[in-house]
């Protein structure tokens, strides 16, 4: 909701600056704010779905709904970049004089400050909550901030040099940067939908937990992991001495699962108990 409010405010400011000056750089900045508004509204919808608890039809929860938001945001960013390029090319061929540059600069700087504060807030929340939606929105707003900085520098150069062509050239540079951010978001979304494994540093934390038990003669294999939005899923086989009772094995698995969930937040752990002296127990391929 904070992002939606910021998008509306900055969109009004940037379009006002564009209509006052006729600057293509400011138009590119305003076009990205339209994307911000659409993406933030869709992100709000996606988050309301993602936080729903597991149900009969979605036993692993709804956290992957976040990837629809980040994917749409990536596509919208590319659409915005294309619209900027289409609008800027005629201005490169036929540069137009700019007017009221000072007022346009003030509005653009004010909008950049608003976006910067909101992006910082969203980035902190996204990291704390492990939300790809909030992180995507934050990175998009940070891109918007850098876009505004580039546009401001372009307008200053136009004012100092009188070279009107610098304004549409800056708009094209902004479009290229926006494209890069869009492709990055789409790649992260694709990785999430493809059930990518946990980040290496989180896998290392889990291996540290398991190594403690390996020193006590317990073996592990068939380690698998995947990330689904804000949630992690981990599964592996636990191999114990054959003479153990079911209760002993069950208690050990509970203890291991609990320690992993304490070490890596929002992680669902599934274990499979097997006798260590059974040769068939090692048939399943290990991924660790």
Instruction: Specify the CATH number for the domain of residue 237.
Output: 3.30.70.1350
Tell whether 89 and 173 lie within a shared domain: yes
Instruction: Specify the CATH number for the domain of residue 170.
Output: 1.20.1510.10
The residue-averaged pLDDT of 167-176 equals 78
pLDDT score recorded for residue 211 = 92
Q: What band does 246 get if pLDDT is binned at 50, 70 and 90?
A: very high
Tell whether 79 and 33 lie within a shared domain: yes
Q: What band does 259 get if pLDDT is binned at 50, 70 and 90?
A: very high
Q: What band does 72 get if pLDDT is binned at 50, 70 and 90?
A: confident
Tell whether 222 and 167 lie within a shared domain: no
Q: Among 93-102, 134-143, 269-278, name the most confident range.
A: 269-278
Residues 6+ apart with CB under 8 A from 249: 238, 240, 273
Tell whether 68 and 174 lie within a shared domain: yes
Question: How many domains are contained in the chain?
Answer: 2
State the DSSP H helix or E strand holding residue 251, giving kind and residue range, or none if neither: helix 246-263
Three-point CA angle 79, 83, 84, nearest 5°: 115
Tell whether 137 and 271 lie within a shared domain: no
pLDDT score recorded for residue 286 = 44
CA-to-CA dists, residue 225 to 4, 196, 203, 287, angstroms: 34, 8, 8, 10
Beta-bridge mates of residue 238: 220, 273
Locate 121 and state its tokens.
């807030």
Pick from 193, 217, 245: which residue ends a domain? 193
Pick from 193, 212, 241: which residue ends a domain? 193
102 near 192, Cβ under 8 Å?
no
23 near 17, Cβ under 8 Å?
yes
The residue-averaged pLDDT of 173-195 equals 78
Average pLDDT, the chain: 81
- The verdict on residue 127 lying in a domain is yes
For the chain, give the percent of residues with pLDDT over 90: 18
pLDDT digits (tens, 9 = 90+) for 203-232: 999 999 999 999 988 999 889 998 876 678
The residue-averaged pLDDT of 223-249 equals 88
Q: Among 21-25, 229-233, 241-245, name the most confident range.
A: 241-245
Whether residue 89 is predicted with pLDDT greater than 90 in this model: the reply is no
- The verdict on residue 70 lying in a domain is yes
pTM above 0.85, yes or no: no
- The verdict on residue 287 lying in a domain is no
Distance (Å, rounded) from C-alpha 66 to C-alpha 43? 7
Tell whether 173 and 226 lie within a shared domain: no
pLDDT score recorded for residue 145 = 82
- Looking at per-residue confidence, does 225 or 69 come out higher? 225
Tell whether 17 and 112 lie within a shared domain: yes
3-state secondary structure of 234: strand
Tell whether 44 and 146 lie within a shared domain: yes
pLDDT score recorded for residue 129 = 79
Nearest to 255 by CA among 266, 263, 265, 245: 263
The residue-averaged pLDDT of 139-162 equals 77
Nearest to 103 by CA among 155, 143, 149: 155
Distance (Å, rounded) from C-alpha 70 to C-alpha 190? 10
Domain that holds residue 262: 200-282
pLDDT score recorded for residue 287 = 43
Pick from 193, 225, 258: which residue ends a domain? 193
Tell whether 91 and 185 lie within a shared domain: yes
Tell whether 206 and 187 lie within a shared domain: no
70 near 136, Cβ under 8 Å?
yes
């Amino acid at each position: 909701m904070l992002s939606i409010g910021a998008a509306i405010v900055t969109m009004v400011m940037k379009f006002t600056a564009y209509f006052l000056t006729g600057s293509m750089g400011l138009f590119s900045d305003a076009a990205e704010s339209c994307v911000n508004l659409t993406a933030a509204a869709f992100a709000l919808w996606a988050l309301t779905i993602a936080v729903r608890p597991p149900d009969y039809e979605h036993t692993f929860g709804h956290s992957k709904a976040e990837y629809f938001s980040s994917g749409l945001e990536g596509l919208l960013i590319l659409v915005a970049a294309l619209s900027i390029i289409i609008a800027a090319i005629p201005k490169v061929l036929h540069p137009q004089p700019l007017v009221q540059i000072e007022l346009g600069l003030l509005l653009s700087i004010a909008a950049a400050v608003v976006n910067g504060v909101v992006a910082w807030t969203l980035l902190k929340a996204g990291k704390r909550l492990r939300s790809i939606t909030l992180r995507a929105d934050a990175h998009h707003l940070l891109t918007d901030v850098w876009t505004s900085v580039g546009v401001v520098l372009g307008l200053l150069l136009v004012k100092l040099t009188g070279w009107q062509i610098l304004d549409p050239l800056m708009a094209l540079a902004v479009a290229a940067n926006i494209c890069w951010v869009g492709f990055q978001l789409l790649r992260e979304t694709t990785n999430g939908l493809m059930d990518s494994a946990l980040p290496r540093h989180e896998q290392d934390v889990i291996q540290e937990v398991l190594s403690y038990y390996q020193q006590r003669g317990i073996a592990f294999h068939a380690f698998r992991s995947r990330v689904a939005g804000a949630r992690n899923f981990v599964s592996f086989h636990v191999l114990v001495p054959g003479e153990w009772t079911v209760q002993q094995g069950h208690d050990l698995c509970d203890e291991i699962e609990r320690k992993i969930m304490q070490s890596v937040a929002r992680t669902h752990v599934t274990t499979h108990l097997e006798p260590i002296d059974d040769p068939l127990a090692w048939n399943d391929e290990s991924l660790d």
